[in-house]
Structure formats: structure tokens, C-alpha cells
Amino acid sequence: MPCITDWLVENHIVSTKLPETLSLEELERNDGDILEYIQKGERVHLIIDVSLVKNFPMNLNAIQESSNRYLNLDSMGWVVVIGNNNPMIKFMSRMISRFTGVRLTQALNQDAAIEHLKQHDPTIT
């Protein structure tokens, strides 16, 4: 199964669901897709569902370099990670957040993620 990325709320929230096995190449392709979405809005938030992920690239530098294409944009809002039970993914998420300054939080599920975003962005209806 490839990464699935689409608008959850048009021009406000992008949702991406990552597969069980995620290669660096697939991650880079998906980051390119996310970049296109982020560039379309004034303030766009990202919900990343990692609930299926079991195997993923461990190269923090490559992951950061790929995600920096959109994380450093002025139009980038919050990043909310859901389904995160993997301690290594939690660690890598925190490190990337520190390096980029992106606002990142965890949520139990998509509804909780959307609620968090609504609390921080009144333009989301």
C-alpha cells in the first residue's frame, strides 16, 4: 500500500496515511505530494497517520532533509501525528520538530487531531 495523501479540509488540513513498510523513496515522494498541498494554502496543517507503520527508514538526516521542503514554509501550520505507538517514531518526530521549529503534537485519532487544530486555528470550520 502506498502513502495516501489528500485534503481532509480543503486548503486547511492535509491528511497522509503511511503504509506498514515505508521506504525512504516512498517517503520522499509523499513529502513532494505534501509540499504541493502546503503551497496551495495560506495556513495548512498536516495530520500524519502512522498507525500502520512497522518498518521505516532510520536515516534521520535524510528524513529531515526531505520534510524540510515543506516544514519550513510560511504556510506550514501544525503537524499532528496520530496512531503513534512506536518509541522510535516518537523520538524522530521530536527531533525533527526541534530542528525545524515546526509545531508538532500527538493525538489519539483523527477526531482528536482535528479538534486540536480547531482550537489553534479558528479558520477551520
pLDDT in the model for residue 38: 96
Query: Residue 111: which CATH number?
Result: 3.30.750.24
CA–CA distances in Å: residue 25 to residues 28, 66, 98: 5, 10, 24
Classify residue 125: in a domain, yes or no.
no
- pLDDT per position as a tens digit, 34-84: 999 999 988 999 999 999 999 998 888 899 899 999 998 999 999 999 998
- pLDDT per position as a tens digit, 87-122: 888 888 888 888 888 999 999 999 999 999 999 999
As beta bridge partners, residue 14 has: 7, 46
Alpha carbon distance 53, 40 (integer Å): 28
Q: Which domain holds residue 104?
A: 4-120
How many folded domains does the chain comprise? 1
